[in-house]
């Protein structure tokens, strides 16, 4: 069974490259370029995992994560945060919002694929 992932990032180049990478591994990927679009998409479709950027205009990834966690169907779904922000306070803020794992940018393709396989295997 293919796992369905929603990839959320305001950088179209990252969306294209990460989508291409993970789709070749058999994941079904949908993308959203903003937090508002991501939440709308999450309400209309079901996802098995979220890949989420922190820094986005209008709504941060932390806020998106909190909104997803407030939805019954996503209270336990893995959320992997892709971020250039790696301070201890950012990590703490992410964990408080409900992030499952953090991955630093720039993204290492091998690490990303390994994390995705491990997270969806739970």
Q: What percent of the chain has pLDDT over 90?
A: 74
Q: Does residue 1 register a pLDDT over 80?
A: no
CATH (domain of 26) = 3.40.50.2300
Residue written as token pair 């959203």: 32
Q: What is the per-residue pLDDT across 31-78, written as a single tens digit (0 to 9) for each?
A: 999 999 999 999 999 999 999 999 998 999 999 999 999 999 999 999
How many structural domains does the chain have? 1
For 52, other C-beta atoms within 10 Å of its C-beta total 27
**Average pLDDT along the chain:** 92
User: From CA 106, how far away is CA 122, in angstroms rounded?
Assistant: 26
Picking from 87, 37, 92, 89, the residue whose alpha carbon sits closest to that of residue 67 is 37
The verdict on pTM exceeding 0.85 is: yes
Tokens of residue 1, six digits: 């069974």
Rounded CA-CA distance 36/29 in Å is 18
State the residue range of the domain holding 36: 4-121
pLDDT tens per residue across span 15-24: 999 999 999 9
Among 26-30, 41-45, 83-87, 105-109, the minimum mean pLDDT is found in: 83-87
């Amino acid at each position: 069974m293919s796992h369905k992932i929603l990839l959320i990032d305001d950088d179209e180049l990252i969306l294209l490259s990460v989508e291409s990478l993970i789709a070749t591994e058999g994941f079904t990927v949908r993308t959203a370029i903003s937090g508002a679009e991501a939440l709308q998409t999450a309400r209309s479709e079901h996802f098995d995992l979220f890949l989420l950027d922190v820094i986005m205009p209008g709504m941060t990834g932390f806020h998106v994560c909190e909104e997803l966690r407030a939805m019954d169907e996503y209270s336990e779904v893995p959320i992997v945060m892709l971020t250039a922000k790696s301070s201890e306070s950012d990590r703490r803020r992410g964990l408080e919002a409900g992030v499952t794992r953090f991955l630093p940018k720039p993204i290492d393709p091998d690490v990303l694929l390994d994390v995705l396989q491990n997270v969806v295997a739970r």
